[in-house]
Amino acid sequence: MRTGVKAGLIFNQNVSLREDPIARLALVIGVHEAGRAEALRYTPLMSPDLRVMLFPSSAYRTLAPLAAGTTLHAALGRPLLVAIILGCAMAISATGRITIGLALSTILCWSFVPALQMLTGAWMLTRGTGDPKTAAQMDLWFMGHAPWSLWILVSAAMFTWSGETTRLEWFVVASALIPAVWTGIITRAFCRIVQQAPMRSAVRRAIAHQIVTVALVVAYLFAVARPWARILEMVRL
């Protein structure tokens, strides 16, 4: 560890730079000590979600003890926010508008997504041995949703303002790789710090989680889009 360059709130918490890709990137691109310290001065303005997104390991290290008293009621707040984000984004993408009725309809329809994420989260929690209780762990788990949430909102904005005939669908689908990889990094940090898993085990769980997530997405697409014929088209059987 290069203690000489670790300063400020995040870097003073004895976090290995190997665990925080963003911090490592900051070193690689040569961000100066003074600049980082200046940036960290604004950390209190960041939500826990943003801190988890930018500095997964160190943020979880800070937040895990604070989350110990989280109630189930409070832990449902973040899944609810994800449902609202998804519902509003779907409504805006499809219509370019938002109304109360439209938002409630799409939130209702698409709330199965955070429900499934809670299930995959619950599956992850059964694998862990960390101190915080289940509600706290679930809350910490959903703090890692920020990359997907921001990607969903940016996609909705692009669909809305890119012009009616601009073809963006494949670009948006391809760009989903960014939050997918980012979430894998956050999941690894969650397993490592919150669930106190050894590094190798944390990596395994993160990979398993991503595989389960992709499997669920594929299962959904098969259920609604019935792509067997298209697969046949591709392989020309």
Using CB under 8 A as the binding rule, the residues of this chain from 196 to 215 that contact another protein are: none
* Contacts (CB under 8 A) with another protein, residues 67-86: 81, 84-85
Comparing CB distances to another protein, the nearer of 47 and 71 is: 47
Nearer to another protein, 102 or 116 (CB): 102
Instruction: Answer yes or no whether residue 229 interacts with another protein by CB under 8 A.
Output: yes
CA distance 96 to 110: 18
Closest among 60, 63, 68, 67 to 193, alpha carbons compared? 60
- Give the separation between CA 100 and CA 79, rounded to whole angstroms: 19
The answer to the question of residue 98 lying near another protein (CB under 8 A) is yes
State which of residues 28, 115, 157, 214 lies at the interface with another protein (CB under 8 A). 157
Nearer to another protein, 172 or 203 (CB): 172
Q: Which residues contact 136 (CB under 8 A, 6 or more apart)?
A: 64, 67, 68, 69, 70, 75
Could you tell me which residues come within 8 angstroms of residue 233 by beta carbon, excluding any fewer than 6 positions away? Answer: none
Check binding of 226 to another protein (CB under 8 A).
Answer: yes
Q: Is 167 exposed, middle or buried (0-12, 13-18, 19+ CB in 10 A)?
A: exposed
202/23 Cα distance (integer angstroms): 19
What phi and psi values does residue 119 have, to the nearest 5 degrees? -65, -45
Nearer to another protein, 68 or 231 (CB): 231
DSSP single-letter state for residue 133: -
Q: Contact letters (x/-) for another protein, 30-59, by CB under 8 A?
A: ---------------xxx-xx---------
**In the complex, minimum distance from the CB of residue 214 to another protein, in angstroms, rounded to a whole number:** 17
User: Which residues make up the interface to another protein (CB under 8 A)?
Assistant: 45-47, 49-50, 81, 84-85, 88-103, 105-106, 108-109, 146, 149-150, 153, 156-157, 159-160, 164-165, 167-169, 221, 224-227, 229-230, 232-233, 237
